[in-house]
Chains A and B, each alone.
Chain A
Amino acid sequence: MDHEFSIEDLTERAKAVEATFLVHPGLYLIGSLERGLTVYNQQLRAHNLVWALWELHKHNNGEDIRRVAIVGGGIAGLTTAACFLPLFQNASITLFEQLWDLCPLQQGSDNRWLHPRIYEWPAPGSRAPGASLPVLNWSEGRASDVARMIVSEFGKFADTFDERGERLAVLLGLRHFQIEAATKRIEWIANRTTRAGAFFHIGEAEGNSGIYDIIVLAAGFGLENQSEDYPTNSYWRNEQFGQPVLDGTRQNFVVSGFGDGALIELCRLTIERFRQDTILYEMFPPPINLEEVEERLTVAWNNKGPLGNAFEFFSNFEEREILENARVELSRRIRKDTRVALHIRGKNQEVKRFSDIFGPYSSFLNRMMTFLLFKCGAFSLSMEDLELAVRRHATPRANVLCRYGTDAIGHLHSMFSDIDNIKDRLVEIKTCQKQRPQRLWAPGTFPDPSQPKG
């Protein structure tokens, strides 16, 4: 833990934490510009920010924070709102969501698996399925299951800490949304809702504006960048690529990109019966002790440093049999109904060698899977122009999957009428990467709505 966050004086720690989220006085950004954005990390940040604000304002019971706006009705936004509700009991909270439901990306997403900490693997305990969060807790599952858990928990928080339904307003279906950072004024056209448990009934449309004491940008991932020539459905939409091909043919695919989204597609398309929840146990079956494997990898990787190149690391890893055993397990289950090309040119054609993609662009686990699949010869590689790659691999347009991540800066810029006021600070936040996904709030800060009162 960084020194400024480990300090015992809670007020000083809160000041340090608050500063990492601050974009402009009263305007805060959760995640979005941080590397390794995950649902769980965004929730940690939401807890940290709201705790820090409470710690700095509790001397007057938060009286100076009366109006809070939260931008984004995804998991980060809901967690932020649920953290505010019990602490800032004098505040009204307005949640803005562009789409027509909460957690819209993950609702109904049955293809994608969410796990709180698997992208921290091989860190000890990273396989634990529970998030163990005091606010909007959840356990691993399909994205749709996780969305259900989160929204249901959100309903409980709202029922318990806004019993009369007067403090929380949820606005859905934004058709216009603009923030003026200098005045903390928001202008919108959207539909106000009424809440029934975890559901929100749509009410009258309204065009309106308001000035807020605090604005929290919790827009999270946003939607992905698209290739103009090969538009691909959002990562979160359901499709059938993970299922065996039913017409007996062998299909060609091109996966373009080298972030976690692309590498997960690579795994799904090359590994038979691939499941993110079981793959580690299958690659390291008994009598291999998975915890020992994790310990050895962790020690060796920590010596290398988290920003190191994982290709060199895997190639030179001294305990060769650990990875060799996993490679043998994988080689037995390469999909027979697909032929996959991994296209890794990079946005500015910066990728010159396969090993270039093993920098800190994806999780350790996905890099290890890609390395092992490479060793199995499970895919071909392309660093040429995407159009050429598609033609050379005779890939139908529908089988070209471009996973280029999101344009978080562009998304943020589009929300502001006075972007010049905050542009430099956004760049600074992106450069510094200070919003540590760690539990920095004081233990016992957030009440549990399921605990008996008193």
Chain B
Amino acid sequence: MEKLYRNPEPVPPASQLALLPFAAAIEGFLRNDSDIPGLKITLHRTMSREVNGYLQQVCAYLGGDKPDWRGQVGRLFPVTYGIMGAAYDTQKIYRTKKYQSIEELHHDLQESMRLTADDKKLKEVGLSYLAIPFLGPPDQVVLILYAECKEFNFFADDRRILNIAAMCRGVCRLFDWLQGEPMPNLRNFPLLKGRPVTEPPTVYPLIQEPVDISPPRFARVPSFNYEAAAA
């Protein structure tokens, strides 16, 4: 799978720019002036390529020491990929659940990696993950906020998730307004809904869980593809 999808396909710069400040705000909120080891935040969109539907990374990862706006933008994934795949499938917020000890987490993480044929080394992978689907009409996933870090139990805090979800809802309201009254020369051009491309799910099955918090929802945005246009 990695080999098949190894190179990115373009994402319009306007789409990237529309989401980068939001990802940066989430990063600032999570960091809150302290160092969060391994923090990485990005957003993916659902997109179609001919008849097939994929997840595509819309903007660069934020959170590292040296952000690179080009970095890994545009990668395509089957809709079953990782924790994003679980969020896409269930249309629920997913996160790494709360553990009593890091040893317990390591145990379940290793077992999850074995079950999903993930051959990365334990020290290379995050300890906490989050995927928040943004739903749109008619009941489809439009965007997914993805975050990971190496801080133990980082996303197990309900309050933190509630705050992030509230920020996401603000983004939905903004783009709903813009959908009705687009700015000159900047439009959200529709993407067709594709037949979701699936592979065996790779969400770490033992450590991730759905969260009982309503996901953010667009009222008017069925797909996300902002482009700068001449008219």
Contacts and interface: CB of A to CB of B under 8 A. Distances in A.
Interface of A: 1, 6, 124-125, 127-130, 132-134, 137, 139-141, 275, 277-278, 281, 291, 438-440, 442-448, 450-452
Nearest to A137: B10
Contacts of B7: 134, 444-448, 451
A134 B10 contact: yes
Contacts of B134: none
A132 B76 CA distance: 13
Given A277-B230, A439-B49, A451 B190 contact: no
Given A443-B4, A443-B5, A448-B74, A130 B51 contact: no
Contacts of A139: 227-228
Decide if the interface of chain A is mainly helix, strand, loop or mixed. loop
Contact of A452 (B54, B70, B230): B70
A1 B54 contact: no
Given A448-B74, A451-B8, A452-B68, A1 B51 contact: yes
B192 to A, nearest CB: 6
B231 interface: yes
Nearest to A6: B51
A125 B190 contact: yes
The 6 closest A-B pairs by CB, nearest first: A128-B189, A278-B231, A277-B230, A444-B5, A444-B7, A443-B76
Interface string B75-94: 11000000000000000000
Given A291-B190, A444-B76, A450-B70, A129 B9 contact: no
Contact of B225 (A128, A440, A447): A128
24 contacts: A6-B51, A125-B189, A125-B190, A129-B189, A129-B229, A129-B230, A132-B12, A137-B10, A275-B231, A277-B230, A278-B230, A278-B231, A281-B231, A440-B50, A443-B49, A444-B4, A444-B7, A444-B8, A444-B75, A445-B7, A448-B10, A448-B74, A451-B8, A451-B71
A141 B230 CA distance: 8
A174 B27 CA distance: 57
Contacts of B71: 451-452
A286 to B, nearest CB: 9
Residue picked from A124, A451, A452, most chain B C-beta under 10 Å: A451
Interface of B: prevailing SS: loop
Contacts, number: 84
A127 B71 CA distance: 28
Contacts of A448: 7-8, 10, 74
A194 B75 CA distance: 34
A443 B55 CA distance: 12
B54 A443 contact: yes
Interface of B: 4-12, 49-51, 54, 68, 70-72, 74-76, 187, 189-192, 225, 227-231
B9 A132 contact: yes
Contacts of B191: 125
B189 A127 contact: yes
A327 to B, nearest CB: 20
Contact of B70 (A128, A133, A451): A451
Given A277-B231, A443-B5, A448-B10, 13 more contacts: A127-B187, A127-B189, A127-B229, A128-B189, A128-B227, A128-B229, A139-B227, A141-B230, A443-B49, A444-B4, A448-B7, A448-B74, A452-B71
Nearest to B56: A443
Nearest to B192: A124
Contacts of A137: 10
Nearest to A446: B7
Given A278-B231, A438-B50, A444-B4, A132 B10 contact: yes
A132 B14 CA distance: 12
B192 A125 contact: yes
B81 to A, nearest CB: 12
Contacts of B231: 275, 277-278, 281
A431 to B, nearest CB: 24
B224 to A, nearest CB: 12
A447 B71 CA distance: 13
Given A443-B54, A444-B75, A452-B70, A133 B10 contact: yes
Contacts of A446: 7
A137 B72 CA distance: 17
